[in-house]
Amino acid sequence: MNIDMTGICSLGSAAQNMDFKSGNEMASLAARQINYHLMGFYPITPSTEIAENIDEMYAQGLCETRLIPAEGEHSAAGICYGASTAGGRVLNATSAQGLLYALEQLPVQSGTRFPMVMNIVTRAINGPLNIRGDHSDLMFMLNTGWIILLARNQQAVYDMNIMALRIGEHEKVRLPVAVAYDGFFTSHQKRRVEYFISEADVRAFIGPYREMQSSVKPEQPVTIGPYMNDPDLINNKYQLHLAMEAAREVIPEVFAEFAVLSGRQYPLVDSYMTEDAESGLFALNSAAEIAKDAADSLRRERSAVGVVSPNVLRPFPAAEVQAAVGNLKSLVIAERADSYGGNGGCMTFEVKAALHDLPGNSTRCVTRIYGLGGRDFYTDDAENLLRLAINAAGGKATSGKAGSEVGDGIKAFDYYGVTPGDRNWSLEPVTRPIPAEKTRQALIKIEQDPETGRLSVRTSSVRAMTALPKRIAPGHGACPGCGIFPNLNQFFKGIEGEVVVLFQTGCGMVVTTAYPESSHRVTYIHNLFQNGAATLSGVVEMYRERQRRGEIPADRQLTFVMVSGDGGMDIGMGSALGAALRDHGMIIVEYDNQGYMNTGNQLSYTVPLGTKTTTSGVGPVEKGKSFHHKDTAQIMAATNIKYVATSVEGLSIDMVKKAAKAQWYANRGHLAYIKLLSACPLSWRSKEQLGTEVMRAAVDCNFFPIYEVEQGITTINYDPESRKRRVPLSDWLGMMPRSRHLTGPDYREQYDDLEAEIERRWQRLKAQAENERL
Amino acid sequence: MTSLAKLPKTHGNGFFEVRMESIGGLGANVAGKIFAEAGVLGMGFNGVTFSSYGAEKKGTAVKTFARFCDPRQEIRIAAPVEYPHLLVIFHDRLLQTGKAVTHGVTHDTTVVVNSRHPLDQVREQVGLCGGGLGVVDAIGIAVEEKSRPNTVLLGAMTRASGFMDPEAVRKAIAGTLGHKYPKMLEGNLRAFDRGYREMQLEEYACSIKHPKEPPPRFVSPLGYENAPIGGAVVNPGNTILRDLTPSRTGYIPQFFPEDCINDGHCEYTCPDFCFTWESGVDRKGKKGMVNKGIDYRYCKGCLRCVEACPTTALRTVIEDEEYVREHTVPLLGREE
């Protein structure tokens, strides 16, 4: 840039550049400059970009941070914990459900006193599922023993990430640190930012890593995490409390030192025009920034208003809050998370507690819950809340109880921005339930072989089966050419009678159930990735129990089907194995679209070696996914369930037969698992119209063999070799730009390795098919 | 040192504001990044850009925003743009959806529309009284230059903005696309130049004063009084009422019943369940299921069916609105 920026650039002792970046990009930039040893992660919107960006920098050789793609956030936190005990610098990033899934691990990290840094890109927690920004996840962090720094804008994300490490590793502190910033508002919006040109300045500021205890120093054995009973645990926790108190001293020191380096000041509590204010607004992060604009415009009307927001949440800066708001007549505490039934969010309790300890304080506090689920917060919303504060300056707030308004009628607690709905809006059914007889048109005949006990199925023609009704209505929002729906359509043609479905989180779920719409004509339940199988097993067993008690007719047959995809069988594997081992009467269908596509093409474990995804880049250092594809069907077969099968769209009759068999077993109280390979033209960057052809190539190159394991007996249903349709692996890989590089000379090693692995698994499968004992 | 360019107009809050109305896949998000980066890093303004976000998918409506202000002004606002000085409509089909794509347009707004239609017709579609209107055939140019339509629109927006330096935008394009898709850079830069040059831009005077009413913020028809508790959808299957026409980007399958052998492959490969089948008699007089045609309301133009069809009963054609209107075979009502 050749514009004079004097007075715009920050003046610190270190040289800085100006750039235009998002919050997630700034978190990744800080991580690169710090050069963390390791990052354990699991993708979750809106934090995912951090791992993606670091992966891209790693692939290009710009940083050395080892990325470990966990199979879920609980494991990601475990990886981080283990890594931090082994004496190096560790990073994590998560949001919402991810944070809650990891939550159990977080007090382990703090209680055993291993510093690390985790970015929390704040987002609403399920359910119903919402991926946008609020603070309902962050509030669960308050009791974990982690230091929590808040980053109100993109610049602060960078600055806090650098300071966080320094604070957490301080010898008086030794605690993990979270940096929290607003999902989408801060994580995805791009703004003008500054960063240190030289990594050396960052490294000098954070200093060398000083290890205290190490799990990998055998000459100095140490027991990390003993069993600690009642005489001692309280003392351990008191030490943690003392560390937090020490952090109270350390944080301002680090902030001050950073200000010298960067020219940017961070007080513990950011007070905007509160010196002479009568009324104020307390809010966290991006909303507090917007409120400053609102305060400016109200100041022009000569209203004495100000805005208060902390930069540090743990330890809670109570004294600074007292100083900032203690002299106000009224304060609206705006919260992007409710503590249901508490008549306040957590910030209300903490601000009120701080004011309670201020002798003679008479500030009137009013709480408004706003902006849940990322609901936009406009400047005029902030103005409304400031005006509410002005109005509240005259009197005492009433209790939050409905109907208890007295005096000026301002409730101490309420929601801001809720809407009652349109009374004339119709909730009348749009489609009628599918009559069971319509799904039973004698098109499918199933028989059990009296000798072997195994099933044989005969179906009508593809054409005749077009008469079967679809359980998913058109109008869903999937991408053009999506493979999920041809697969599910073909699968469900094989299922007769009444059905209950459960979809785990994923594309199939997101695109069919965008509230207030739903494409599901049969009863549908959603639960998160890691727990669908357990949830559906609960449904199945309740149904059976109610049948046993006579509450539901014993002869009423329902078929229960769980649908998973988008890597749901990674994070949900434990739950699926549990349900399989308990052998509930249900079907698990996995549409394997080879990646976490609903969050933007991160690797799932089923992705083949060497493939490029947003978390397995290709470049001078990284060569795509570093480990072989997961064989989910064989893992499920190892639970010894009665029926496991693979199929793919295009092999319609094969799939219908397998669906019918799965239903036969499910309705006799056994769990059946079917895996369907499923095209994702968006992320594979394959041609939208070629879904079936890409699938066929995956089958014909033996990457995805079509077989079933019925009562332990393996049968290959489609053998590309005997049909003389076998194609080289490169035919399939070449159809998908995301793996086309594997067919080139630079990736020969990965290609050969993948080809050998596919062949090894194929030969083993053939041996299993030839020998009933295998 | 170059002196700073001036913003032609700003709101009371100091911002020149831009809104782009698009469909996922047309590249509005990237265009916003390039445009804002050019203004901030190339021209020295302070600025911000962002998009409305959902799950990762193609074909759904997306809004992208950008704001510019004096470099000394701090940016705090993170909310969407309601009164754009520059409104860019990435596909004229969005004007037909009844969605609020033109909300907040005033005399101060210049609207840029990607359309093949003449200026006057687009003006009618937009319902524009006064203000600026630019029309450019971004898809046509993109096809010719083998570029993305968003670079054509970047050219058009750059000119329509009245302040953006085309060189700064070209540089930002090179920085973004040159890194990701170096082979496509030249075509995209040509597309940018053509968008800049070939946009028809007209300023309309109008005697009627545009009322500056607050643009309606979306309010859900279901609220705390009438929404079933727990977020349950009690009338599921209701996506059948949707019309996905805007998610198509140019091509459709055309159905020739005289070539159809009713084998059912189109029905099985269609992700969007567009085909209408009925029990009947086929052309050879045989009883069985018969393909009656396509309900284009649900068709996203993926063309899987054309690929699956063993005959020539399904063929790829450039979408023609009249054809679609006349040949849609409605599914609704038959599904029960």
Tell me if A132 and B300 make a contact (CB, 8 A cut-off): no
pLDDT bracket for residue A114 (50, 70, 90): very high
Minimal-distance CA residue of chain A relative to B41: A1
3-state helix, strand and coil shares in percent for chain B, rounded to the nearest 5: 35, 20, 45
Give the containing element (helix H, strand E) for B155.
helix B149-161
For residue B2, the model assigns a pLDDT of 55
Q: State whether residue B277 sits within 8 Å of chain A by CB.
A: yes
| CA B165 from centroid of its chain's CA atoms | 25
Nearest CA in chain A to B239: A475
Residues, chain A? 774
| Average of per-residue pLDDT values in chain A | 96
Which residues are registered as beta bridge partners of B222?
A421
Is the confidence at residue A260, as pLDDT, over 50? Answer: yes
pLDDT at A342 over 90: yes
Residue B71 amino acid letter = P
Q: Is the pLDDT of residue B3 over 90?
A: no
Query: A482 Cβ partners below 8 Å, 6+ apart?
Result: A507, A511, A679, A680, A681, A691, B271, B302
A154-169 and A230-262 helices, crossing angle to 10°:
130
A510 interaction partners in chain B (CB closer than 8 Å): 55, 57
Of A185, A490, A689, the CB nearest to B304: A689
pLDDT for res A400: 45
- Name chain A contacts of B251, Cβ cutoff 8 Å: none
Which option is the CATH number for B243-327: 3.40.50.720, 3.20.20.70, 3.30.70.20, 3.40.109.10? 3.30.70.20
SS3 category, A255: helix
What's the whole-number mean pLDDT along residues A454-482? 95
CB within 8 Å of chain A, chain B residues 35-74: 36-37, 40-44, 46-51, 53-60, 71-72
The pTM for the full model equals 0.96
Contact A419 B36 (CB under 8 A): no
The reply to whether residue A474 touches residue B1, judged by beta carbons under 8 angstroms, is: no
Please report the pLDDT score of residue A406 as a whole number: 46
Banded pLDDT at A397 (limits 50, 70, 90): low
For B157-214, the pLDDT digits (tens) are: 999 999 999 999 999 999 998 877 788 899 999 999 999 999 999 999 875 655 566 7
Are B224 and A418 within 8 A, CB to CB? Answer: yes
Query: What would the pLDDT profile of B50-76 be if each residue is shown by its tens digit?
Result: 998 766 677 788 999 999 999 999 999
Do the beta carbons of residue A46 and residue B54 sit within 8 Å? no
The count of CB pairs under 8 A between chains A and B is 294
Neighboring chain B residues of A378 at a CB cutoff of 8 Å: 79, 82, 217
The predicted-structure confidence for A220-241, as pLDDT tens digits, reads as follows 999 999 999 999 999 999 999 9
Answer whether A67's CB lies under 8 Å from A55's CB.
yes
Region A324-330: mean pLDDT is: 97
Q: Which of residues 181-210 of B touch A (CB under 8 A)?
A: none
Distance (Å, rounded) from C-alpha A29 to C-alpha A25? 6
Residue A720 has pLDDT above 60, yes or no: yes
Name the pairing type of β-strands A706-710 and A713-718: antiparallel
Among candidates B221, B288, B301 on the partner chain, residue whose Cβ is nearest the Cβ of A480: B301
Per-residue pLDDT at A401 exceeds 70: no
Q: Which residues in chain A are closer than 8 Å to B253, comparing Cβ atoms?
A: none
Interchain proximity B41–A516, CB inside 8 Å = no
Radius of gyration of chain A (CA): 29
Note the ipTM here.
0.95
What pLDDT, on a 0 to 100 scale, did the predictor assign at position A571? 97
Residues of A within 8 A of B301 (CB-CB) are 480
* Average pLDDT over chain B, rounded to an integer: 91
The predicted pLDDT at position B54 comes to 66
pLDDT at A404 over 50: no
| pLDDT over threshold 80, residue A5 | no
Q: What is the pLDDT of residues B208-238, one digit of tens each?
A: 655 566 777 889 999 999 999 999 999 999 9
How far apart are the CA of B202 and the nearest CA of chain A, in angstroms?
Answer: 32
- Asked if B48's CB is within 8 angstroms of A512's CB, the reply is no
Structure tokens at B297: 């309301």
Please name the member of B222, B274, B289 whose beta carbon is closest to the beta carbon of A421.
Answer: B222
Render pLDDT for B301-322 as a digit per residue (tens, 0 to 9): 999 999 999 999 999 999 888 9
Which residues on A lie below 8 Å from B54 (Cβ)? Answer: 131
What does the pLDDT read at residue B129?
78
Write the residue in A430, A465, A485 that is nearest to B240 by C-beta. A430
| Domains of chain A with CATH codes | 16-211+231-262 (3.40.50.970), 269-415 (3.40.50.920), 478-770 (3.40.50.970)
Quick one: which of A187, A168, A206 has its CA closest to A35? A206
* Share of residues in chain B with pLDDT > 70 (%): 93
Q: Which residues of B touch A693 (CB under 8 A)?
A: 307
Contact B79 A378 (CB under 8 A): yes
Chain B CB contacts of A652 under 8 Å are 268
Of the listed ranges A145-159, A247-261, A754-768, B54-68, the least confidently predicted one is B54-68
Contact assignment for A689 to B306 by CB distance below 8 Å: yes
Q: What is the pLDDT of residue A592?
A: 98
pLDDT score of A211? 87
For residue A421, the distance in angstroms to the closest alpha carbon of chain B comes to 4
Question: What are the C-alpha distances in Å from A103 to residues A77, A94, A138, A218, A635?
Answer: 9, 11, 11, 30, 28
Nearest CA in chain A to B73: A8
Whether residue B162 lies within 8 A of chain A, CB to CB, comes out as no
Residues B77, A293: C-beta atoms closer than 8 Å: yes
**Chain A contact present for B113, CB below 8 A:** no
Lowest mean pLDDT among A223-227, B98-102, B324-328: B98-102
Contact A131 B308 (CB under 8 A): no
Q: Is B213 on the interface with A (CB under 8 A)?
A: no
Task: Kindly report the nearest CA distance between residue A20 and chain B, in angstroms.
Answer: 6
Q: In A, which residues are within 8 Å of B274 by CB distance?
A: 474
Q: Has residue B332 got a pLDDT over 70?
A: no
Sign of CA dihedral A709, A714, A720, A724: negative
- Asked if the Cβ–Cβ distance from A1 to B42 is below 8 Å, we say yes
Q: Do B335 and A469 touch (CB under 8 A)?
A: yes
Residue A520 has pLDDT above 70, yes or no: yes
Beta strands in A26-115 (DSSP E): 38-41, 66-69, 90-94
Q: What is the mean pLDDT of residues B18-22?
A: 96
Interface of B with A in 10-39 (CB under 8 A): 13, 33, 36-37
Q: Enumerate the domain spans of chain B.
A: 16-204, 243-327
Q: Which residues contact A215 (CB under 8 A, 6 or more apart)?
A: A82, A85, A86, A87, A222, A224
Q: Under CATH, which architecture does the B16-204 domain have? A: 3-Layer(aba) Sandwich (3.40)
Question: Is there a contact between A292 and B49 if contact means CB atoms under 8 Å apart?
Answer: no
- Integer angstrom CA distances of residue A589 from A643, A673, B148: 12, 6, 37
Chain A interface disruption, residue of B304, B309, B331, B332, most A CBs within 10 A: B304
d(CA A247, CA A249): 5
Give the best residue of B15, B233, B243, B248 to mutate against chain A (max A CB count within 10 A).
Answer: B233
Nearest residue of B to residue A518, measured between CA atoms: B236
Q: Which residues have a Cβ under 8 Å from the Cβ of A418 and sit 6 or more positions away?
A: B223, B224
A94 in helix, strand or coil?
strand
Check if B16-204 and B243-327 are the same fold. Answer: no
